[in-house]
Amino acid sequence: MTNTNVTLNDAAVGAPPVRRRGKFAGMLQRSETLRGFFLLSPTLVVMTIGIVIPFAILITMSLWTAIGFGFDTTLTTANYETALEQPVYGALMHRSLVISGWATVATVLLSYPMAYYVAFHVHKNKMMWIVLMTLPFWTSYLLRVFAWKVVLGYEGVINSGLLWAGLIDAPLEFLLYSQQAVVITLAHSWVAFAILPIYVSLEKIDRSLLEAATDLGDGPVARFFRITLPLSMPGVIAASFLIFIPTTGDYITPALLGGPDGMMIGNLIQLQFGPVNNWPMGASLAIGLMLYISAIGLVFLALTKVFKERMA
């Protein structure tokens, strides 16, 4: 206490009583916008360095062309033209969207009952249930994908089980190295990202609405489709977004489990930066994928809006 007093006294004696402010501080005080930007600045710096600059490089590079080990830096849209002309790019893009579309549907269908159960039928230790559901996701993504290789493999768990049960004579070969394998694995890998948003939106539903529906004569099924499902739609839409966007560009799952027919656009982009050695082409494909996903995202958002208006 004494120490503090001394310092305070010293300061009072040494400094003039009027607080001096810098010019900048003054501006900061007056302008609310400036204060906002000042608060945002750490994030803005990170965003600029981490996203805006690399994105600008990506766009610039996509307009170059590769020659041997170097680049021809005259700007041209040749890469985009090639991407549109050659069927392989469009086909892989399309396949990626179909695979991740199915994976999204499968994930949401799988997670909905789980989230529903926790939201409506678990009354004690809800948090523990949620944590338990995310437990498998504490292992690395790569390891989980690899585990599926073991499960789906020729001598894998499923095939051995079916053989043992006498249901099949020879191992099912379509299980591994196929688009199905990619869909199954993606659905499992991303399930936690679907459970949580769906759970939150189910949890928020006002229980009295359900009671009212029952009082007015709705059976459990009708009640689910008229009250619960529509009210949990925000969660379902968020989950679909969260899964669809990252899985479209997934690389490791198709690389390990896809086989020749399960290759996706992410693998093709990697190849451009690897053995094919055509970075500009890779850059334009990456941008193409972004545009494609944004377009689908916009369509999705528009549909959501229509849906919401109908609900209201």
Partner 1 sequence: MDVLDQIGAVREGKMSRRAFTRSLAAAGVGMATVPFSGRKAMAAPEDQATYFTWGGYDIPELFGEYQAKNGELPNFSIFGGSEEALTKMRGGFVVDVSHPCNQAVPRWTATGLFQSADMSRLSHAGDIIPELTQLEGNADGDNLWMVPFDWGQTSITYRTDLVEIEGEESWDILWDEKYAGRLGSLGAGADAWWVGAIKAGVDFDNIDTPEAFEKIAAVMREQRPHIRVYTDDTTTLEQALASGEMVAAMTWNSSATLLRAEGHPVRFAQPKEGALTWVCGLMIHKDAPNLDRAYDVIDSMLSVDTGKFMINDYGYGHSNAKSFDEFDEETLVGLGLSKNPADILEAGHFQKPQTQEFESKMNALFEQIKAGF
Q: Are the C-beta atoms of 271 and 57 separated by less than 8 Å?
A: no
Q: Shortest approach of partner 1 to residue 270 CB, angstroms?
A: 9
Q: Is 173 in the site for partner 1 (CB under 8 A)?
A: yes
Q: Which CB contacts under 8 angstroms, 24+ apart, belong to 265-272?
A: 265/89, 265/92, 265/93, 265/95, 265/96, 265/289, 266/96, 268/88, 268/89, 268/92
Nearer to partner 1, 77 or 160 (CB): 160
Query: How far apart, in whole angstroms, are the C-alpha atoms of residue 108 and residue 191?
Result: 8
- Residue from 14, 22, 42, 68 touching partner 1 (CB under 8 A): that is 68
Q: Output the six-digit token pair for 158.
A: 């499923």
Q: Is 92 in the site for partner 1 (CB under 8 A)?
A: yes
Q: Are the C-beta atoms of 199 and 260 separated by less than 8 Å?
A: no
Query: How far apart, in whole angstroms, are the C-alpha atoms of residue 12 and residue 9?
Result: 5
Q: Which amino acid is at 158?
A: I
Q: Is 66 in the site for partner 1 (CB under 8 A)?
A: yes
Nearer to partner 1, 106 or 263 (CB): 263
Q: Which CB contacts under 8 angstroms, 24+ apart, belong to 132-139?
A: 133/192, 133/195, 134/192, 134/195, 134/196, 136/192, 137/192
Q: How far is CA 304 from CA 135, 228, 240, 311, in A?
A: 32, 17, 12, 10
Q: Is 278 in the site for partner 1 (CB under 8 A)?
A: yes
Q: Is 268 in the site for partner 1 (CB under 8 A)?
A: yes
Phi, psi of 3 (to 5 degrees): -55, -50
Q: Is 154 in the site for partner 1 (CB under 8 A)?
A: yes
- Residue from 108, 152, 263, 269 touching partner 1 (CB under 8 A): that is 263
- Residues 29-58 touching partner 1, rule: CB under 8 A, are none
Q: Shortest approach of partner 1 to residue 260 CB, angstroms?
A: 6
Q: Is 91 in the site for partner 1 (CB under 8 A)?
A: yes
Q: Output the six-digit token pair for 131.
A: 């944590």
- The site string for partner 1 over 118-147 (x = CB under 8 A, - otherwise) reads ------------------------------
Nearer to partner 1, 11 or 164 (CB): 164
Q: Is 157 in the site for partner 1 (CB under 8 A)?
A: no
Q: Shortest approach of partner 1 to residue 172 CB, angstroms?
A: 11
Q: Is 84 in the site for partner 1 (CB under 8 A)?
A: no
Q: Are the C-beta atoms of 264 and 250 separated by less than 8 Å?
A: yes
Q: Is 275 in the site for partner 1 (CB under 8 A)?
A: yes
Where do the H-state alpha helices sit in 204-264? Answer: 207-215, 220-223, 229-248, 252-253
Binding-residue total with partner 1 (CB under 8 A):
27
Nearest to 91 by CA among 260, 264, 244, 256: 264
Point out which span in 6-14, 23-31, 170-178, 226-234 binds partner 1 (CB under 8 A).
170-178
- Residue from 260, 310, 311, 312 touching partner 1 (CB under 8 A): that is 260
Q: Which residues bind to partner 1, rule: CB under 8 A?
A: 66-69, 86-88, 91-92, 153-155, 171, 173, 177, 259-261, 263, 268, 271, 273-278
